Structure formats: C-alpha cells, structure tokens
Structure 1
Amino acid sequence: MSIEVRQMNFEVDRLTNIEVAVEHNRIDGKDSRREQRMNIEVEDDGPNEERERSRSSRALVQNRSNERMDEAFSQHASFYTVDRSALVGYSIYSISIEDGDEVQRRFNDFEKFYEKVRESGLLSSAIGTPPKKKFLQADTKLADKRKLWVEQFTHELILNHSDKEIVQKFFEMDTFREDEMVCLGSSERKNAKPSDFDFLKTIGKGSFGRVYLVRHRVNRKLYAMKVMGKEHIKKRNEVKHIMAERNVLISNVNHPFLVALHYSFQTKDKLYFVLDYLNGGELFFHLQKERHFSEARSRFYTAEIGSALGHLHDNNIIYRDLKPENLLLDRSGHVILTDFGLCKENMNPTDTTETFCGTPEYLAPEILLKKPYDRTVDWWCLGSVLYEMLVGLPPFYSKDRAEMYERILHQKLAVPPTLLDKVCDRRLGAVDDFNEIKSHSFFTPIDFEKLQRKELKPPFVPKIKDELDVSQIDREFTSQQPNPASLIPATFGTHRDTDFPGFSYVS
C-alpha cells in the first residue's frame, strides 16, 4: 500500500495573531426577510419586522438588527488562540492513500489522535511522542521533525492497524466512495472541494447558510457558492428539501431563466452548491429602490418568470416559493429564478400535494385552507408578484398575518382578474399551464420564441462596471467578509453521509 505525506503551504496572512476561527459562522438571531418561509415540518418563527417595514414603506435604508446569536452551522464551533511563532503547529499535512484520495489534518489533530491511540495500546515503542517546540529552536527545524514524525505515525497506523475503526475514522478511510466522487474530467478521478475556490465576497444569505462570490483557481471563472451547514439542516428536518433542490438544479441545465448548477459537493459539516453568478441584483432590491415598475417592464419580467415556471412544470416540478427575493437579474437585465428548496418533484399535471409551505404574502387560498393543491399555486404566486411589481406591495399585504390570510381567502381584487382567481380550477393556467398564460391578451406585445432565445431587449439594464461589481447586491450581504477558516475545513476528503446520498454533481 502506497502512502504519501505532504506538508501543505498555508497563507499566514489569512490568520491573525489573536484568534483563528476554525468553524465560525454567525447566523442572525432573527430570520432574514429572505428566509421567511413557512413549512409544517419546521418551526414557524413568526412575522419578521424588517420585512414588514420594507414591504410597507419600500424604504431605501436597511434597518438591520444588531442582535446576534453565536450559533455555528456545526454545533461544535471552536476557536484557537495562536501566536505567529507557533504557526508551525498550525501546519496542514495531506495524507494520500493508495489511489491518490487524500485527507488533510492539522498537526494539532495528530497530537490529539496520538494520545487516543497510545491509550488504546496500538502504537509500537518505535513511535515517539509528537515533537514539541524547544526554547530558541528554529521553526524550520521543528517543522522538519514534525513532518518526519507524522510520516512515521501515519505509516505505523495505516500499515498495521487499518482494520481498526478509530484509524479508519481519523484518516477518512471509510469515506472514499465512488458514489460521492465529482468527476471533473472524462477519465481522471478528482475531488471538487472548497480549497479549489477563492472566496471573494458574501453576496447572499438563506435559511441554512450563506452565498459567496467565488473564483475557481484553475479555470478562473466566477461562481456563486451556496454553503449550508448539515447540522442545521438535520435539526430542522430539511434533508429531503435540500436533496430535492439539488435534483431540480440539475434539471435546470440550458434553460435561460433558471439558475444552473455547476458542481455540488460536501465535507463532513457542510454542503456546497456552485451556481451561476448573477450580479444584477434581486428583484426585491430593485423594487425597494424604485417602489414599483412600469407595465412594460413588469410584463417582460412576468413573461420570463412564467417561462421558467412552465419549464419546471414540464418536468413535473412545482416551485411553491415564488417571490421577488428569489428572482435575480443577470448583468443584461434578464430575470433568473433561484432557490429551489421548496420544490415538489414528481408532480404530474393531475397530481396534488398537501404540505403547508411557502412565503406568507404569496400563499394561495387552497394552501391556507389546507386542501390538496396542484401546480396552479405557482400561477397564483406569479399573479401576486406581477401585482407587486405594478403596485409596490403584494396584493393582500398586511403587517398582521392573520388579517393577511383573511384577505387572501375573502377579499376581492380587481386586477389581475384571472391569475388571482381564488378558485384554482378557474385560475389562468389551470387547463393548459404556461400555454394558457402566454396566450392572455396581457402578453400580446411579447414574442415568446424570441423571449426564449433572449433576443428581446430587457427594459432595464443594471449599471454594472465589470464582473466583480456587486453594487446591485444588497450591502446587507456584501458588507460581510467571508471567513476562509470556516469555509475551508480542517479535514478534506470525499465524504459519505447517509443523510445526503448522491449529493455530489458536476455539470
């Protein structure tokens, strides 16, 4: 069995001489307005004050709460106080076993593991204790000694005790599985991993993590990387929704108005989606600034959104969470549908489902009544978003949620007269889905064949200087710098997780 131990180079300037956050992700004590979704399988956190203020006033200035809670996506957040003279102890060693798969560990991890296996009696007397720093000893000399010790320690355990569970777990020997590999080439096995990317900016936040602007270190392309904490997902019983999101993202390939997935992979603690990078801003962001849109602009966006929903329906997927926060503009001004966490798969045209989920302002009456519902709930949401673009608020909006639900169920609304029909069987799109939508007289000015080919000029083009310009993205996000120590974990390797089987993907 071939075993290779390499000491990795680590950028010292990414560390401070005070504190290194190994696993540090803060989440707001209050849900962001972009996470206010309701689902019977998760806790309903109640109305969000900031979103309410934003809806009622379309204020240009964000009023963010300073209340924070220290909850890491992994339950075991840890901080290490370090001194630059001790950074040699922060060295990372890459262990390659047999076929080139590798796992990476810090020297401190080896020290702790040494104590465990020594107590279990696995080590021979030939393996000494981990080298300690001596007074006035040069860092380079200590580094050489530690690398030699790591090599001896690793060889002893893998060659003589690889059948022991404690050894398999430390070296991730039980996690190198083909079903979790991401194939980046036609013939060569490689792992996609967080360290393949440079984390440049924070550009979004969702229910289970954050979204970062990243650059691939090899192809130099920019992507949006969605990073989600597994523990948080499991605690809220959302595993099946994350896997559904991954499946829907794969089906989106080559549709002009749906965000595309390029890679998905996982580490021990986190899941990663690598998606199209769109820097034209959320539709919600632009509505805040402009209060409402013209009829022509609203019609253009609605046509593109409808095309995206129609594609999902053609693939037997109900979206269920349409709202301006989930609609992004690309740099040319086309609207792109994102965030597929509440999608329902395998829904034929006549199938129904009953899960109570969505965003309060846009819930269809049949969902509120807890009746079986079908894909027409998406057309209700489209009507609600169209109304909001024209008027500035969702059609039945109220700060009081109970009152808002009462309005959705009973209040009459003049426009649009068919998209928001409270009886789903009479709703526009109930008979022939998107074909019925695009045949409506409201869309007479739209050539849908040209729209699908992106040959129609968008009515609004975001002012973007270059691909790194994030001025159209809410400063609520971009003001927060990524923390590489929490995003690139201490241990790498292709991780098998029975809760997320088949998660990994490459386009």
Structure 2
Amino acid sequence: MFNCCLGGGGAQEKERPQGTPSELHKNFSDKTILDGFVAPPGTPMLPGCDLEGVLGKGTFGSVMLVRERSTQERFAVKIMNKEHLLRENQLENITVERQVLRNAGPHPFIVECHSGFQTEDVVVLVLEYLSGGDMFDLLAKNGTLQEEEAKFYLAELAVAIGELHRFKFVWRDVKLENILMDEFGHIRITDFGLAGRYASGQATDTSIKDISGTAVYQAPEILSRKGHGRIVDWWALGILAYILVAGRPPFRSDDYTELFNKIEKEELDLDKDDRTKILSDEMKNFINGLLVKDVNKRLGSQGDAEEVKGHPFFKGISWEELEKMEMPAPLEPPLQPPVKGDTVQKAEAEQWLREVMGKKGKHPKAVQVADYKNIRNEYKNRRNSIGLDFGNTHSEQSRKTWTGTTDDFGRLATGF
C-alpha cells in the first residue's frame, strides 16, 4: 500500500487502494438515495465542491478542476457534450472506455475514476486529479531523458500495458499526452476511447479492423488495413522510447503519405542516428526489438508484457518494488497544482461551465450511453458550487477513466 496523492496544495495524503473500492468514492456515492428515499430536486450531485479552474478544453467537452471542501481533495471532472459525441460518432468509444476501466482496474498505473453518469445532454466523469502534468510536460521541462530516466518510465508503462492486455484490451493510443504524472512523478495511463478488444493473444491476431491512434505511433499492421491485435501497443511503446531519448519520432514527415510509407518500409539504423548512437547496446536492442515490422518477431509477440519486462534493457529493475511504487521517480513532476483561490482561473472555469452545460443537444432524448447511469438534468441553472446539481445520483461504477488528447490542449510536439 503506497501513497498516491490526488492533488497538492494542502490536500491530505491518502493511501492508494489495491484491489478495493476507493474510500474517497464515498464522497461521490449515492448520497441522495438512502433506504429508498429520493432527495428533493436540486440536491447537489457533488455536494460541497468548489470549482477551481479549467484543466482542458476539447472537441467533445471540458475537464474542470474541483476541490471538495470537507476533505480539501481535488478532482478532475470531465463533461462531454452528447451532441458533439453523436455528431462525431463517438458514443461507442465512450462505452468501450468504461468496459476497459471496469475490467482492467484498479491498478496503480491507470488513472482512477470515482464515478460516471449521464444526463440528457452530457456524459460526466469524476476523475482522480493528477497534479504533475504529463510526459509531454516532462520533456518540455527537462529535454530528452537520460537512459536510466527513460528506463523507469518505460518500465511503469510496460506494466500498465500488460494489465490492459491481460483483459484482452489494446490501448491503441500510447503517446506522451496520455501518460499523466502524480505529485511523486509516477505515471498513470489515460484515454481509452480508442481502445479495442482482441480475440486472441496471438501475434497474428487480426480481429481489430479499424484505424485508430496518433499517426506517428501507428504500427505497420494498422496501416495495412488487414486487421491487428495487441502487438500494436508494443510498437507504440518503441516509438515512445525513441522519442524520450531523441526528442522526436523515428519516422517523421509533414506529409501523411510519406510518413506512412516510412513506417511501413523504412528500416532504422540507431548507430547512424546522431541522437541514438550514444545509447547502450541494450537500449538500442530494446527499441529495435519493439519496432520490428514483422509482428511474429516483434518484442512482446510471444510472451507479451513478461517478454518485454525480461529484456536486458530492464536489468536492475525490481518489478515488485516498481509495482508497489517503492522505486522513486528519477525526476520531479513537471507541473505543480494551481494556487488555491485563484479567482481568475475560477472565473474562467465558471464561464466555461455555463457555456458547456447551457448548450442543448439536438439529439433524441432517448439517446443513451451504455454503462453510464442516466440522470435527469433539471437543475442546470441552480448551482451553488461546482454546478453539477443534477437532482439525482449515480450508482457505484468503475473507478478509472480518461482525460484528454493532444487536441484537448492544442500543443504541438516540435522537438525537445
């Protein structure tokens, strides 16, 4: 059992649960239904919370930072507009997300979700707030990583990806922006809206047919359109490993056709690359092994996460200590939590929340998102604190979910 703080700035450290429901869920549980009694309209969905700022704005919604007054704990609340989700055909992705989180959690390296519910107009998620930023921020602050630094983060990622695969889910969205960091510098993977379910653990599994993910991380078998399975995540980890130490993707072009052609046909020579030739033979072999185009020969194709973890590159890693978060992170997290009581951020958040919640969807009222409790949205304009006074409550559900993507934050990876 190890500390994993949900926020900073005066928040109490809490023990991260291992395999049991979070005690903090009690703060967001079914408060308005007790022994069959239904609370009167206007009862707050998240009682006693103050809105503190906007963490992200995206195509499908926004992520708000809130603080619960009684515990001083911070949480990230994601509000997704159904009209936008329907228009972009994203409702199925939201359902898949919940399936991933319900089956693959809880886990120390996956973002925690305390609840998920919906109204006629929005889908809402109450998430663990991670104050340390993401891996994009880490590179922006520190530049490219030393090999030993990269090894630590790649080890935590290998464990997290292996946990998804254990339940036959493929992440398909490995990238810097989807790797968040807590206040101690440990990672949490996030954003499973593009996840897929594979039929078997065989390297040649082609049960997933659609093309998903960020272009520079896509494996050759995705681009071939012949179907793919879990092995695409190990290719993406190889791309990320290269980026961590080189500050740029191994295959790159401003033209998508040229980029995809390089991914499918170009062979890397890390010994001739000025940014990678200084790496140890173990790390070069590790990257090369993950970026093998033949799925049957790619590192991880036979033994999945255990095969990847057994590579000589990870020599010296105590996997038991790592998974218990006993190994300290090599670098401080790149960001710090916002200052409590920042009136500018609070005003911005309140205005943005009014805009998001004030938009009436054009969808049929009967539209539902699977795995989310339905809640009547009758009291959108009667908010005393954060504003999620939906007049009813949700049942306890899965405890993890996603936050955002590159587009949510508008940042461009131009090299570090």
Question: Do the two structures share a fold, i.e. TM-score over 0.5?
Answer: yes
Report the TM-score when normalising by structure 2.
0.70
Paired position in structure 1 for 2:144: 292
Once residues 199 and 157 of structure 2 are traced to their aligned partners in structure 1, the CA distance between those partners, rounded to angstroms, is: 19
| C-alpha displacement of 1:253 | 3.4
1:455 to 326, 337, 341: 326
Residue of structure 1 in register with 2:369 after alignment: 500
1:393 paired to 2:248: yes
SS of alignment partner, residue 288 of structure 2: coil
Residues 424 and 463 (structure 1), Cα distance of their counterparts in 2 relative to 1, 3 Å cut = closer
Matched, 1:486 2:389: no
- Give distance in 2, aligned partners of 1:377 and 1:400: 22
Query: Which residue among 258, 261, 267 is the counterpart of 1:412?
Result: 267
Give the counterpart of 1:208 among 35, 57, 60: 60
Query: Counterparts of 2:50 and 2:119 in 1: how far apart (Å)?
Result: 17
Q: CA deviation at 1:372?
A: 1.4
> Which residue of 2 is the match for residue 434 of structure 1?
305
CA contact (8 A) 2:198 2:229 kept: no
TM-score, normalization: structure 1? Answer: 0.58
In the TM superposition, what whole-angstrom CA distance separates every residue of 1:77-113 from its partner, at most 9, and x where no partner exists? xxxxxxxxxxxxxxxxxxxxxxxxxxxxxxxxxxxxx
2:236 matched to 1:381?
Answer: yes
Partner residue, 1:366 = 221
Structure 1 residues 358, 229: CA separation in 2 closer, same or farther (over 3 Å shift)?
A: same
Change (3 A) 1:206 1:423: farther
CA distance in 2 between counterparts of 1:380 and 1:302 reads 13
Give the structure 2 partner of residue 343 of structure 1: 195
**Distance 1:490-1:210 versus aligned 2 partners, 3 A rule:** closer
Note if contact 2:153-2:187 (Cα within 8 Å) is conserved in structure 1: yes
Report sequence identity in percent. 34
Secondary structure of 1:426's counterpart equals coil
Q: Report the residue type matching 1:214 in the other structure.
A: V
| 8 Å CA contact retained: 2:223, 2:260 | yes
DSSP-derived class of the 2:89 partner: coil
Structure with more contact order per residue of length (Cα contacts < 8 Å, sep ≥ 6) = 2
CA distance in 2, matches of 1:460, 1:220: 26
Q: Which amino acid aligns with 2:222?
A: I
Name the residue aligned to 1:147: none
Determine if the alignment matches structure 1 residue 403 to structure 2 residue 258. yes
Aligned residue identity for 2:263: I
Shift of 1:272: 0.7
The Cα shift of 1:462 comes to 2.3
Report the Cα distance in structure 2 between the residues aligned to 1:214 and 1:307, rounded to whole angstroms: 30
Q: Using the TM superposition, give the Cα deviation of residue 251 of structure 1 relative to its aligned residue in structure 2, in angstroms.
A: 3.2
2 CA distance for matches of 1:326 and 1:198?
A: 26
Q: Given the superposition, is the C-alpha separation of residues 447 and 270 from structure 1 closer, same or farther in structure 2, using an over 3 Å criterion?
A: same
Tell me if structure 2 keeps the 8 A contact 1:253–1:261: no
Q: 1:452 to 1:198 in 2, by over 3 A?
A: same
1:250–1:261: 8 Å Cα contact kept in structure 2?
no
2:236 match: secondary structure? helix
Deviations 1:153-174 (A, max 9, x none): xxxxxxxxxxxxxxxxxxxxxx
Q: Is the alpha carbon distance of 1:419 and 1:463 closer, same or farther for their aligned partners in structure 2, counting shifts above 3 Å?
A: closer
What does 1:157-168 align with in structure 2 at a 5 Å threshold? none
Structure 1 residues 412 and 487, CA gap change in structure 2 (3 angstroms): same
Inter-partner Cα distance in structure 2 for 1:193 and 1:310:
35
Question: Structure 1's 315 and 194: CA in aligned 2 closer, same or farther, altered over 3 A?
Answer: same
Alpha-carbon deviation of 1:182? 6.5
Instruction: Describe the shift of the 1:459–1:271 C-alpha distance in structure 2 as closer, same or farther (beyond 3 A).
Output: same
* Mapping for residues 48-127 of structure 1, pairs under 5 Å: none
Displacement of 1:429: 0.4
Instruction: Describe the shift of the 1:419–1:192 C-alpha distance in structure 2 as closer, same or farther (beyond 3 A).
Output: farther
Name the SS for the 1:320 alignment partner: coil
RMSD: 2.9
Q: Tell me, yes or no, if the aligned pair for 1:252 and 1:260 is still in contact at 8 Å.
A: no
The answer for the alignment partner of 1:183 in structure 2 is 30
Quick one: distance in 1 between partners of 2:180 and 2:86? 28
Deviation at 1:482, TM superposition (A): 4.1
- Which amino acid is 1:404 matched to? L
Instruction: Write the distance in 1 (CA, Å) between the matches of 2:372 and 2:137.
Output: 31
Does 1:310 find its partner at 2:310? no
Match of 2:121 among 232, 252, 269: 269
Query: Unaligned stretches of 5+ in structure 2?
Result: 1-27, 270-283, 374-394, 400-416
Could you report, residue by residue, the CA deviation over 1:209-237 in whole angstroms, capped at 9, with x for unpaired residues?
12111123555431111111100000111
Q: Contact 1:361–1:394 (CA<8 Å) still a contact in 2? A: yes
Does the Cα contact within 8 Å between 1:312 and 1:318 map onto a contact in 2? yes
Show CA shifts across 1:193-212 (max 9, x none).
36764321111234411211
Seen in structure 2, the aligned counterparts of structure 1 residues 329 and 384 have a Cα distance that, compared at 3 Å, is same
Corresponding residue number in structure 2 for 1:444: 315
Report if aligned partners of 1:194, 1:488 keep a CA contact under 8 Å in 2. Answer: no
Q: 2:55–2:64: 8 Å Cα contact kept in structure 1?
A: yes
2: CA distance, partners of 1:496 / 1:247: 24
Partner-residue secondary structure (3-state), 2:93:
helix
Name the SS of the counterpart of 1:354 in structure 2. coil
Deviation at 1:285, TM superposition (A): 1.8
Residue 322 of structure 1 corresponds to 174
Q: 1:469 to 1:252 in 2, by over 3 A?
A: farther
Match of 1:258 among 89, 107, 110: 110
Residues 219 and 451 of structure 1: CA distance in aligned 2, closer, same or farther (over 3 Å): same
